[in-house]
Amino acid sequence: MAEPLFVPVQLAARALCVERGDKMLLKEITAEIPAGQVSLILGHNGAGKTLLMQTLHGLVNPTSGTVEGPDRDVQKMVLQTPVMLRRTASQHFDFLCPGLDKEEKQDWFRRASLVGRMGVPARAMSGGEQQKLAIIGALASRPHLLFLDEPAANLDFEATAFVEEIIKRSKQAGTTIVMVSHNRAQAERLADHILFMDKGRLMEQAPAEQFFTAPQSEAGKTYLKFV
């Protein structure tokens, strides 16, 4: 059973259900995302992690239940495989974050070690470069709430290190982050708060240290034995 949090809440789901055909994919999920923290959604493949995140962000409409949170214009989401426009990296960034001055734009590309790639077609960049471009494009607009779906999946060490560092810096700047990851070590490095899912249900939500040392659900205990 998910326990209520005693910290400021940025986003809340109440009795959230998503049904497709005759199959219930998300089942009566009540969850709270604490403000200014990294909340990480964990669970086996098919548990409903990405679907929950998409529903919290508003990309998927729930069959029933409600989501309470900030306006969509102060939220951003980066997909596991970002969609790249038929434009240069610089033009793609401008589309994601219009109106930024040249100096600030250069600074974001510098942070991502992409200054030398600004004129390259976005679709010709490596997977790691595309992910970094998508993340800086999302963060440059200074969202209150950032959703990340497996942001370091299939990335090399350098790109993964960048992703983790910018997540930490964004949290320090006050951004609330919700992410999905299959990497337990990464989860332990980054997460403040865990939402653990199994078969479309939220089995528990807890501070990360508590979940990793003393999970309350049998499903959580079993999961941690094999990851």
Q: What is the pTM of this model?
A: 0.91
Please report the pLDDT score of residue 1 as a whole number: 41
- What one-character DSSP code corresponds to residue 222? H
Sheet containing 38-42: which strands, arranged edge to edge? 75-78, 145-149, 176-180, 38-42, 193-198, 201-207
71 burial type by CB count under 10 A (0-12 exposed, 13-18 middle, 19+ buried) = exposed
Residues 6+ apart with CB under 8 A from 52: 13, 16, 26, 29, 31, 41, 195, 197, 202
How far CA 67 is from CA of 123, 154, 208, in Å, comes to 34, 31, 23
Is residue 144 predicted with pLDDT exceeding 80?
A: yes
Q: What is the pLDDT of residues 58-74, one digit of tens each?
A: 999 999 999 999 998 89
Is residue 5 predicted with pLDDT exceeding 60?
A: no
> How many other β-carbons are positioned within 10 Å of the β-carbon of residue 207?
16
Is residue 183 predicted with pLDDT exceeding 60?
A: yes
Is residue 2 predicted with pLDDT exceeding 70?
A: no
Q: Which CATH superfamily includes the segment(s) 9-84+143-225?
A: P-loop containing nucleotide triphosphate hydrolases (3.40.50.300)
DSSP string, 107-127: HHHHHTT-GGGTTSBGGGS-H
Please report the pLDDT score of residue 10 as a whole number: 87
Res. 155 pLDDT band, cuts 50 70 90 = confident
Is 5 or 189 the better-scoring residue by pLDDT?
189
Of 172, 137, 167, 174, the residue nearest 151 (C-alpha): 167
Residues 6+ apart with CB under 8 A from 172: none
How far CA 74 is from CA of 15, 177, 194, 199, in Å, comes to 24, 12, 23, 30
Q: What is the pLDDT of residues 94-130, one digit of tens each?
A: 999 988 999 999 999 999 999 999 999 999 999 999 9
Please report the pLDDT score of residue 152 as a whole number: 87
Please report the pLDDT score of residue 156 as a whole number: 86
Instruction: Give the residue-averaged pLDDT of 192-205.
Output: 97
Contact 57, 75 (CB under 8 A): yes
Please report the pLDDT score of residue 111 as a whole number: 92
Q: What is the pLDDT of residues 158-169, one digit of tens each?
A: 889 999 999 999
Chain centroid to Cα 44, Å, comes to 17
Contact 190, 42 (CB under 8 A): no
The domain locations on the chain are 9-84+143-225
Mean predicted lDDT score pLDDT of the chain: 93
Apex 151 CA angle, 77 and 58, nearest 5:
25
Please report the pLDDT score of residue 168 as a whole number: 95
What's the N-to-C CA distance of the chain in angstroms? 22
